[in-house]
A and B are shown apart, each in its own frame.
Chain A
């Protein structure tokens, strides 16, 4: 947990926020450009090298940003350690599981 605490967490929260913002804008422009054979274009985009890198970067940024945010909220409001630690463990497990899921989806689709 020490890896993502203090100033490092603060910086990571800001930089992941900027990354998410940029990726969302990129994604919105890309999807707005989709037309007619939307599925084929979406599939080709998501399984292309740059497309899958951007999708993975988005979910990784979201995972890191989410972890720091949830950690802050849990540390502020959940005081009993017996509740706090399992809660943080569940969140960490789900966030890691999401990353694995996304990787498997992209590998399965290509």
Chain B
């Protein structure tokens, strides 16, 4: 019975599992985006192999791949791939540099995390802008 009387205090222990209430540091955001962009790139790999085959199938196929990637109605959707590639490369180089001890202190790590997030977003916006003025 005595054990049950402490149950209230145990039940009152806070659990911060509400994702919306948790403030993620910029490094955590760069990290999870590194994973998400990696998955996007894995999904894109079979498409890239298809594009390779199409581009080597003849002048028609080659033109179709270039037109599809730059001028078609679905070209803007490729911004997901552009974002994933650029973010993954920036965040990946950031990790490689940290592996050899460059920029692993808090201030530069936060700055480079911000840069890698911004680079992906800027690349996606540039891709959209280039499509708009094609």
Contact surface of A with B, Cβ cutoff 8 Å: 14, 17-18, 21, 24, 38-39, 42-43, 46-47, 55, 59, 62-63, 66, 69-70, 73, 91, 94-95, 97-98, 101-102, 105-106, 108-109
Total inter-chain residue pairs, C-beta < 8 Å: 63
**Interface of chain A, helix or strand or loop or mixed?**
helix
Q: List 10 A-B contacts (CB under 8 A).
A: A17-B96, A21-B93, A43-B56, A46-B56, A101-B50, A102-B52, A105-B49, A106-B56, A108-B56, A109-B56
Contact residue among B39, B52, B63, B96 (Cβ-Cβ distance under 8 Å from A39): B63
Q: Contacts A21-B89, A94-B46: A38 and B53 contacting too (C-beta < 8 A)? A: no
How many of B's residues come within 8 Å of A, CB to CB?
24
Give the chain B neighbours of A108 by CB distance below 8 A. 56
Interface residues of B in 12-65 (CB under 8 A from A): 35, 38-39, 41-42, 45-46, 49-50, 52-53, 55-59, 62-63
